Structure 1
């Protein structure tokens, strides 16, 4: 599976808010860097990353990400996105690293 296909699989699970499927799309030693101010919080390992997804979906059940542009560069994928939540919206970018067909790292940055 190429990097773009791996991220598309991850994004489909994310859009469905299916934490089990998200985690199946990630490596056991995965890393997620979120957009929490001021510089984001780093979650390392499947347990920590799973907890971050569960918290995100519980805290904002009606929120939706829309991918605006996606491109691949070797084992990296860049996703420009628009996030709509109750009371507002924001734009940002995710930088993915893929290893062996699974997302190994997702670093998120927000415009603002």
Structure 2
């Protein structure tokens, strides 16, 4: 799977609230850096830690991520997104590193 197709499938898993599939698209040693707590977020390493970090997010998702722009350079993808829910929205950026056709690193940043 090429990087664009992987990122598309990964985003579909998020919008489908499918934690299992999102994790299947990640390497076993995936790294995730969250947007909180401020100012630097928190780092999670490996599928088990990332699963526990993402579980409450997936359980509480009530809206949709729309990708505003996706830029891919070899094994690196940068996507600007907007997350809309009933009463509002937030915008952010993910920096995603791909290795062997899977998400190896997801660094998330949010405005506001």
Provide the TM-score with structure 1 as the length reference: 0.91
2:18 and 2:58 in contact (8 A); partners too:
no
Give unmatched runs, 5+ long, in structure 2: none
Question: 1:51-108 deviations in whole A, cap 9, x for unaligned?
Answer: 11111122x3313211111111110011100112354321110000000000000101
Size of the aligned set, in residue pairs, is 111
Following TM superposition, where does structure 1 have runs of at least 4 consecutive aligned residues deviating by more than 6 angstroms?
none
Q: What is the rounded CA distance, in whole Å, between the counterparts of 2:62 and 2:82 in structure 1?
A: 14
Residue of structure 1 equivalent to 2:51: 50
1:14-93 matches, within 5 Å, as 14-36=14-36, 37-58=38-59, 60-93=60-93
Residue of structure 2 equivalent to 1:94: 94
Q: CA deviation at 1:3?
A: 1.6
RMSD: 1.3
Give unmatched runs, 5+ long, in structure 1: none
Q: What is the rounded CA distance, in whole Å, between the counterparts of 1:45 and 1:81 in structure 2?
A: 24
